[in-house]
Structure 1
Amino acid sequence: MAKKTRPRTAGDTLPLEQRLKVNEMVEAKYFANTRGEVVEAAKIQEITSLLWVPEGCSIEERDAKIVKALDLLESIKPAEGIETMLAAQMVGAHHAAMECLRRAMIPQQTFESRNANLNQAQRLMALYTQQLTALDRHRGKGQQKITVERVQVAPGGQAVLGNVEMAPPGAPALEPPREDTVPPPLRPARAKARR
């Protein structure tokens, strides 16, 4: 029986291989004519939209908040597009968490209100930590895990798992293990019969 396909609607997403590339949708001259100041202004606008500025805040205080947020973004030192997006999200999560903590400390509020703000701050701080871990992983600094699935040791050989450090030049050599302390050789794992 043939599978019926429905017509595509505006909300449908095309598979990746059928999508147009950016350079096919917009001519390169538009990118080439974009000045660096316009790009920087877009970055400032993106960061500014993440900040909560209270009513009655002076222009000087608002600008100080923006500069501080931009400084935080730059301190992350994003190297390329993905890192820049993640850094902007980290700035937003940090500022939202700080605002929730500030609101939790407002006097004369109900326990429920204070608790809601503290819970939200806790979630945002956990999110920030996850973002930091993702950034480290993207940069190749994440924790590495090595799984040894099979080890074969020939008779008389020894297998070593773990950190192996060489003695510095000129240091006395380690004595080989005595015969009575050498563990018996490992037997190769037998393959399980397939049913």
Structure 2
Amino acid sequence: MHCLSVALPWIAALLVGAAVGRVTATPLIRRLRATVDRLNQLVLHDSLSGLLNRSGLKDAYLRSAGHDRHLILVDLDAFKRANDQHGHPVGDQVLSAVGRRLAELAATHGGWAGRLGGDEFAVILPTVTGATATTVAVAATAAVAITDLPTGPLKVSGSAGLAFAPAGYPWTRALTNADIALYHGKHAGTPITYEPGMTYPRTPSTRRRARDDAHQ
């Protein structure tokens, strides 16, 4: 809402200018498009990593609803300890570096990467096989492993879980399933795949996520 409150006066001024002949149509359209693009960037992207944010991930998931998809969740192990030891600026560098690596990995397979919040990331892969999705999940855990930054040595690793989401499968259920897979994958030491119909128990984080998504 803050983004819209800032942008709407500019849009209104452009429209008034066009109405009285002070702004020609072509520059007006270009400026309106630039404003809309900027709004989309602010609303759908994470300001720190540049990746899609939670809303952007949901939008990408829904836009690919006609396809089978895999949703991979990745979170950083012991990130809080590294953040506390090295400071928040270094923690931000870690999150940005992880974001770049996951974005490259997702793009290679025609998908999208995003940051759900904190140290948790997601990758959406449309129209790939289960074997490919598992390979990407394993690669994601390797991609987020960071051993050093320009500021000095640092050890950060990651865990992943993935959920198969057939065409039309609800976003909230796919997210919950991937979260369950992440929880069990973290304990197993390798990515776990959750498919509809499996009976893994819900975890505290999935119950919290369900509440969060219900209020979006």
TM-score band w.r.t. shorter chain: under 0.3
- Kindly indicate whether structure 1 or structure 2 has the higher relative contact order, using CA contacts under 8 Å at least 6 residues apart: 2
- TM-score, with length taken from structure 1: 0.27
Higher helix share: 2
